């Protein structure tokens, strides 16, 4: 037997042993989970290792329809088991099962699937876990105090004025897709409030940064759904992986430059004698923030939060406002009630909204809440079960991901009779008593709820109140034609098509 042959045998044995070591623990975990979860009702047709992955459509709209049809079909079940590749998921869409996970101080870790956001967002507030998340949440909570949010009102009003000018060119004309108009407005608002940087998205929607923000979300969702993309080694060799890296460089280089520029300017301002008031941004507060030991955040840590604000802070509100515009255009009697409230608060003036005005827009607040019930901006999210636990009588082992589906949860007829009907009155105080707190969670709930929900509600009231003061809306699509796509954010497949008519007092002002 030659020395070369012997060496080859030794190498082969070594590789087989290495492969066995690498796969032993994942395979052992997979077998234990399979056995432990056997009593949990699940989708049929799950194959070993690949699970139910082949049953899911690659088309975003079809995939979301599968999810919703499944939750409707299995609504009578307390929970549902799905295998995505070798990863087991338990799907929750009842208030009593959702509460068990969200109200717990144990199950705070985001699902394994959020790791695909790490290259873009790092481990900021959205994706971090454990002590880092607790410390960062404690540090950032004061920056969302109402008195600080009030300082952002000027930016919201200014960018909404730009939106109104854009929409005026469409008023009285043919049906048009308003989705991008509203989304670019939201992107301008979050850019200036988060970074102190006006990116003029409404005027320059073809900028590399703007296009990369949208493209990156699509890339991440496709990777989450495809187990064959999960390996970094394989993914980075594919065209999709190369585009991911290209978009990432654009996004990171932009926020890095803004942070450096803001840090230098803040330092210069502190040494100079001029007293003009600089417009506040979240970035300024991050540059000044310290942890419990008095340590400042590094620029890379600040970038994690700025990128997170940019990602979470525009797409979610933009989607919600677009859904609200569709619903208001589909229900003229609701639109009329909102416009009556606006006239009581603003009269026929075109002045900007104040914080006091926003507090008085109670019915508009109900419209936004009912919109978020029917079309929650984040239609599903996931947590990792951090310890063996019981959910509605079933044993769920540590490490399993619990997928919570607000889109289905919000349609529970026990708490929302005729759930597909758009009825803002559901959220009047007298109609909300007795409703379980975990039956309605558009901003998640419990210790890890959305830190930016006040900001979002404030922005939506500003934008929608201005649109409805200037125009009357008519929807051009039925509910069935919308085809929601449940990616990271819930969007309509073909946009929101409407017609606008200037309101009578607007026409008179222009004579």
Question: Would the CA dihedral through 355, 360, 361, 363 be positive or negative?
Answer: positive
Question: Would the CA dihedral through 173, 502, 203, 312 be positive or negative?
Answer: negative
To the question of whether residue 267 is assigned a binding role by annotation, the answer is: no
Contacts of 425 (CB under 8 A, 6+ apart): 366, 431
DSSP states along 312-380 = HHHHHHHHHHHHHHHHHHH-HHHHHHHHHHHHHHHTT--PPP-HHHHHH-HHHHHHHHHHHHHS-SS--
Beta bridge partners of 491: 485
Q: Are 419 and 413 in contact (CB under 8 A)?
A: yes
Which one, of 497, 161, 73, 175, lies nearest residue 322 by Cα?
Answer: 497
Which one, of 491, 468, 462, 492, lies nearest residue 480 by Cα?
Answer: 492
Q: Are 85 and 231 in contact (CB under 8 A)?
A: no
Residue 288 CB neighbours (<10 A)? 11
Helix (H, G, I), strand (E, B) or coil at 471: strand
Beta bridge partners of 83: 88
Q: Phi and psi of 50, rounded to 5°?
A: -85, -15
Helix (H, G, I), strand (E, B) or coil at 90: strand
| Tokens 């709209």, residue located | 61
Residues annotated within a binding site = 450
Residues annotated within a binding site for heme = 450
């Amino acid at each position: 037997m030659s020395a070369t042959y012997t060496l080859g045998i030794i190498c082969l044995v070594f590789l087989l042993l290495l492969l066995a070591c690498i796969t032993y623990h994942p395979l052992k975990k997979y077998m234990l989970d399979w056995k432990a979860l056997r009593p949990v009702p699940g989708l049929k047709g799950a194959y070993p290792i690949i699970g139910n992955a082949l049953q899911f459509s690659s088309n975003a709209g079809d995939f979301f329809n599968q999810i919703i049809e499944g939750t409707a079909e299995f609504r009578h079940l307390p929970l549902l088991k799905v295998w995505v590749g070798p990863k087991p998921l338990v799907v929750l869409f009842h208030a009593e099962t959702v509460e068990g996970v969200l109200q717990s101080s144990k199950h705070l870790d985001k699902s394994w699937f959020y790791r695909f956001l790490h290259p873009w967002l790092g481990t900021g507030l959205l994706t971090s876990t454990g002590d880092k998340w607790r410390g960062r949440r404690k540090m950032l909570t004061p920056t969302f105090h109402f008195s600080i949010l009030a300082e952002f009102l000027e930016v919201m009003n200014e960018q909404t004025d730009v939106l109104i000018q854009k929409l005026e060119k469409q008023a009285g004309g043919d049906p048009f897709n308003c989705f991008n108009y509203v989304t670019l407005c939201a992107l301008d608002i979050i850019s200036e409030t988060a970074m102190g940087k006006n990116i003029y998205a409404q005027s320059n929607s073809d900028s590399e940064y703007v296009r990369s923000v949208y493209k990156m979300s699509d890339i991440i969702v496709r990777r989450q759904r495809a187990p064959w993309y999960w390996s970094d080694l394989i993914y980075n060799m594919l065209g999709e992986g190369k585009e991911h890296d290209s978009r990432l460089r654009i996004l990171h280089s932009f926020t890095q430059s803004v942070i450096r520029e803001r840090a230098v300017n803040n330092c210069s301002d502190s040494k100079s004698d001029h007293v003009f008031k600089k417009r506040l941004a979240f970035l300024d507060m991050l540059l000044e923030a310290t942890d419990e030991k008095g340590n400042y955040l590094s620029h890379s840590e600040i970038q994690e939060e700025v990128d997170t604000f940019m990602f979470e802070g525009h797409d979610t509100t933009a989607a919600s406002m677009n859904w609200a515009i569709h619903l208001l255009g589909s229900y003229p009697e609701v639109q009329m009630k909102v416009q009556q409230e606006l006239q009581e608060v603003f009269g026929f003036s075109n002045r900007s909204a104040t914080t006091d005005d926003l507090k008085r827009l109670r019915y508009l607040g109900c419209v936004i809440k009912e919109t978020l019930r029917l079309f929650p901006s984040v239609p599903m999210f996931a947590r990792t079960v951090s310890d063996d636990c019981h959910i509605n009588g079933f044993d769920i082992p540590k490490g399993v991901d619990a997928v919570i589906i607000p889109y289905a949860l919000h349609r529970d007829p026990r708490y929302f009779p005729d759930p597909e009907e758009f009825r803002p009155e559901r959220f009047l105080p007298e109609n909300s008593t007795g409703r379980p707190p975990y039956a309605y969670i558009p901003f998640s709930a419990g210790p890890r709820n959305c830190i930016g929900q006040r900001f979002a509600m404030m922005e939506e009231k500003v934008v929608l109140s201005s649109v409805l003061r200037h125009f009357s809306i008519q929807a051009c699509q039925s509910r069935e034609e919308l085809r929601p796509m449940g990616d990271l954010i819930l969007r309509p497949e073909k946009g929101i098509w409407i017609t606008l008519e200037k309101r009578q007092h607007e026409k008179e002002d222009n004579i």
